[in-house]
Amino acid sequence: MQEDIQVNDVKGFQPRSVRYAKQMDEAFGEGLAGFYNAVWADREGGLSKKDKHLLVFAIACSNLKTESAVKILQRLKKFGATAEEIKDAMMIAAWTGGIQNFTDVSPDMLREMERLGF
């Protein structure tokens, strides 16, 4: 149960995958919670949470995970990302995922950016 608290502190919420894994098997749930803690922990000299979210935002956009990208965009607002940083991440997504993916995901991202005041 200690992992639950750490995941909540590190990620800001308990991911559904951790909850589902614990329902299947306690050890699996603890292992998955440890993975979240490792990925999202602040480490000296490592990426900031904002930078990590920018990376996963670009990946979500490039993989057409629009719903995830919108949620990440909301987190980026919380972490103080700028409109220019988000636009850079979207351009990286276009570069890595292809222009068609960029075309498909952009309308939702641009609407959410406007709604969030970017």
- One digit per residue, the tens of pLDDT, for the chain of length 118 reads 455 546 665 556 678 888 888 889 999 989 988 998 899 888 999 999 999 999 999 999 999 999 999 999 999 999 999 999 999 999 999 999 888 888 999 999 999 999 999 9
104 shares its domain with 81: yes
51: left (phi over 0), alpha (psi -120 to 50) or beta: alpha
Asked if residue 106 and residue 63 are part of one domain, the reply reads yes
Residue 29's domain spans which residues? 2-40
Indicate if 63 and 95 belong to the same structural domain. Answer: yes
Q: Are 105 and 54 in the same domain?
A: yes
What total number of domains does the chain contain? 2
Task: Bin 71: left if φ > 0, else alpha if -120 < ψ < 50, else beta.
Answer: alpha
Do 18 and 36 reside in the same domain of the chain? yes
Cβ of 104: how many Cβ atoms within 10 Å? 14
Q: Do 77 and 21 share a structural domain?
A: no
109 and 71 in a single domain? The answer is: yes
Instruction: Kindly state whether residues 57 and 109 are assigned to the same domain.
Output: yes
What pLDDT shows up at residue 101?
Answer: 87
What H or E segment, with its residue span, contains residue 4?
A: helix 2-11
Rounded Cα distance between 88 and 25, Å, is 40
Query: For 106, phi and psi rounded to 5 degrees?
Result: -60, -45
> Do 70 and 19 fall into the same domain?
no
For residue 40, give the nearest of 50, 26, 30 by alpha carbon. 50
**59 lies in the same domain as 106:** yes
The whole-number pLDDT of residue 58 equals 96
Residues 6+ apart with CB under 8 A from 113: 73, 83, 86
